């Protein structure tokens, strides 16, 4: 039975969808004013694995990951660039999709954009005003009145009085709102800013209301799973609950899932510390599958420390798995195995990807053992299972030789040079010139090339 850790209840719960065999999952996506960073990569990969697993289990999945294409940061960046905001956001949406492709991330079934949902946003704000949960301040901003929503803080475990005390003197600074915790639903546009007509002033939506309107518009008042990064738990997701449940009068999402933070060399990733990495910066040094594998080495809820050593280990781990697949014929997958059972037990335990990876390594060792004792044909079903289970994690789908011999990010010998040296060594072996053959092997070894002799054939890979 699949169990999911529900942030709302702070415990694992048996997963039961609202409709049999159907899942509606909404994940807060990117604000597209810059290139995606490693924190975004973790959201992408974590929920991609969840999406893949649901599909494998036979569910019909509607997976929405929104795009925030209007907010303060976007407007500021467009002004700095002297660029139309639509052009800016489209440019970074395309870059985001390129990063997804590099990481082997499936495209969500739905990618709603805030600017395509302005009417739904306005309608929700109107309903909140009519029900007494929102008001227009003296400056024209429309605010949500948190004091009117019973249960505010139930997702984050925060208390309204403590939050007000933490807000300090902001209420005296901003006299336009009744409470320092009240948050903006609609703001009037400044001169030259993107804006839309509304019943209040021409302007644009606040960030929190965008996700409430988009998820409700797509999935109705109540749906199965709402996800995102842990940093969104408060205030964004807390505010979403308040808005949506006040508007509809119904429970919002049944399961809340939050992925953990990325740390860089045991420090929080931030631009101010100079340890902030975009996905494409890391891709200059490591392959997308290595980054993806690294992200899977920690359970999605746990913090994850990024370092060069971790990425190097990811490279070595993947190479071990690809070596097990190398040269095996394509056959039917091995059925009814302990490996499959253990893999699915791990995944059904709140998507425990480190345990799932451990099963893949056990399976790769079994594949190698059967190959050595019984030959490639008998090992092939084990390899087929390894590849099939790997696909649920989004790894091991490349041709093994292509992975093991790839020139990308390697400064040493080219593939052509390596194969020329190997052919020269084979010639020396055929002529029984063992000294020359050993010299050529040593030359390749010093360049990080491992050789494996198979009769008259020599297989090679980069270490």
pLDDT 10s digits, 191-225: 889 999 999 999 999 999 999 999 999 999 999 99
In a domain, 410, yes or no: no
In a domain, 437, yes or no: yes
Which has more confidence, 180 or 195?
195
CATH number at residue 385: 1.20.120.640
Task: Measure the N-to-C terminal CA separation of the chain; round to a whole number of Å.
Answer: 40
Question: How many whole angstroms separate alpha carbon 70 and alpha carbon 84?
Answer: 12
Same domain? For 183 and 273 the reply is no
Same domain? For 398 and 429 the reply is no
Select from 409, 381, 403 the least CA-distant residue to 321.
Answer: 403
Same domain? For 309 and 346 the reply is yes
* Whether residue 291 has pLDDT greater than 80: yes
Same domain? For 286 and 173 the reply is no
Token couple for 47: 């929920």
Question: How many whole angstroms separate alpha carbon 14 and alpha carbon 1?
Answer: 7
Domain boundary among 209, 228, 259: 259
Token couple for 77: 């960046």
Sign of CA dihedral 222, 232, 264, 44: positive
Same domain? For 343 and 367 the reply is yes
pLDDT band at 171 (very low <50, low <70, confident <90, very high): very low
* Whether residue 420 has pLDDT greater than 90: no
Q: Are strands 203-205 and 183-188 parallel, antiparallel or unpaired?
A: antiparallel
Same domain? For 229 and 338 the reply is no
In a domain, 207, yes or no: yes
Measuring CA to CA, how many Å separate 123 from each of 24, 110, 275?
Answer: 22, 21, 42
Maximum Cα–Cα distance for the chain, whole Å?
Answer: 93
Select from 359, 357, 382 the least CA-distant residue to 369.
Answer: 382
pLDDT in tens, 62-94: 999 999 999 999 999 999 999 999 999 999 999
pLDDT score, position 133: 98
Domain boundary among 207, 233, 259: 259
Buried-state track 255-284, b at ≥16 Cβ within 10 A, e below 16: bbbbbbebbbeeeebeeeeeeeebbeebbe
* 92: containing domain: 3-259
Residue 21: CA atoms inside 13 Å, Cβ hemisphere, count? Answer: 1
* Whether residue 430 has pLDDT greater than 90: no
In a domain, 409, yes or no: no
Mean pLDDT computed over 30-50? 97
CATH number at residue 7: 3.40.50.620
In a domain, 339, yes or no: yes
Mean pLDDT, rounded, of the chain? 92
Same domain? For 75 and 124 the reply is yes
Same domain? For 274 and 192 the reply is no
Mean pLDDT computed over 410-427? 75
pLDDT in tens, 244-272: 999 999 999 999 999 999 998 777 777 66
For residue 38, which phi and psi values (nearest 5 degrees)?
Answer: -65, -30
Neighbours of 399 (CB within 10 A): 11
pLDDT band at 172 (very low <50, low <70, confident <90, very high): very low
Mean pLDDT computed over 315-322? 96
pLDDT in tens, 9-36: 999 999 999 999 999 999 999 999 999 9
Q: Which segment of 223-237, 311-325, 328-342, 445-459 scores lowest on mean pLDDT? A: 445-459
Same domain? For 248 and 280 the reply is no
The total domain count for the chain is: 3
Q: Which segment of 49-58, 135-144, 356-365, 435-444 scores lowest on mean pLDDT? A: 435-444
Strand, helix or coil at 27? strand
Same domain? For 169 and 280 the reply is no
Same domain? For 273 and 390 the reply is yes
Same domain? For 341 and 392 the reply is yes
Domain boundary among 259, 283, 310: 259
Whole-prediction pTM: 0.92
- 3-state percent breakdown (helix, strand, coil) of the chain, nearest 5: 50, 15, 35
Strand partners, 451: 460
């Amino acid at each position: 039975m699949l169990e999911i850790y529900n942030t709302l209840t702070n415990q694992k719960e048996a997963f039961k969808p609202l409709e049999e065999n159907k899942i509606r999952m909404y994940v807060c996506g990117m604000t597209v004013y810059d290139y995606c960073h490693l924190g975004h990569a973790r959201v992408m990969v974590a929920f991609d694995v969840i999406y893949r697993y649901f599909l494998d289990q036979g569910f019909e999945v509607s997976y929405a990951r929104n795009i925030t294409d209007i907010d303060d940061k976007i407007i500021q960046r467009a002004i700095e660039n002297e660029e139309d905001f639509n052009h800016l956001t489209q440019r970074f949406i395309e870059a985001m999709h390129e990063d997804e492709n590099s990481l082997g991330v499936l495209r969500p079934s739905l990618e709603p954009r805030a600017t395509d949902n302005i009417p739904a946003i306005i309608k929700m704000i109107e309903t909140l005003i009519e029900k007494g949960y929102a008001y227009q301040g003296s400056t024209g901003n429309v605010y949500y009145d948190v004091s009117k929503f019973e249960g505010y803080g139930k997702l984050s475990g925060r208390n309204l009085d403590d939050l007000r005390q933490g807000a300090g003197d902001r209420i005296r600074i901003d006299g336009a709102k009744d409470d320092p915790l009240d948050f903006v639903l609609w703001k009037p546009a400044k001169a030259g800013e993107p804006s839309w007509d509304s019943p209040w002033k021409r302007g644009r939506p606040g960030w929190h209301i965008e996700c409430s309107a988009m998820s409700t518009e797509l999935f109705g008042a109540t749906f199965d799973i709402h996800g995102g990064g842990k940093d969104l738990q408060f205030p964004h997701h807390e505010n979403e609950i308040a808005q949506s449940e006040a508007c509809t009068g119904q429970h919002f999402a049944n399961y809340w899932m939050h992925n953990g933070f990325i740390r860089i060399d045991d420090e929080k990733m931030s631009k101010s510390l100079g340890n902030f990495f975009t996905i494409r910066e890391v891709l200059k040094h490591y392959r997308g599958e290595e980054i993806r594998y690294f992200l899977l080495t920690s359970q999605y809820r746990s913090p994850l420390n990024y370092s060069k050593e971790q990425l190097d280990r990811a490279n070595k781990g993947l190479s071990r798995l690809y070596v097990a697949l190398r040269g095996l014929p394509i056959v039917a997958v091995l059925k009814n195995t302990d490996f499959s059972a253990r893999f699915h037990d791990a995944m059904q335990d709140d998507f425990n990807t480190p345990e799932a990876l451990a099963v893949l390594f056990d399976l790769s060792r079994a594949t190698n053992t059967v190959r050595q004792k019984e030959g490639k044909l008998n090992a092939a079903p084990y390899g087929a299972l390894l590849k099939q289970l790997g696909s649920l994690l989004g790894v091991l789908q490349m041709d093994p030789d292509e992975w093991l011999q790839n020139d990308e990010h390697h400064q040493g010998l080219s593939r052509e040079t390596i194969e020329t040296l190997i052919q020269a060594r084979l010639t020396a072996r055929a002529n029984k010139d063992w000294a020359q053959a050993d010299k050529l092997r040593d030359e390749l070894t010093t360049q990080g090339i491992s050789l494996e002799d198979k009769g008259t054939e020599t297989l090679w890979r980069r270490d």
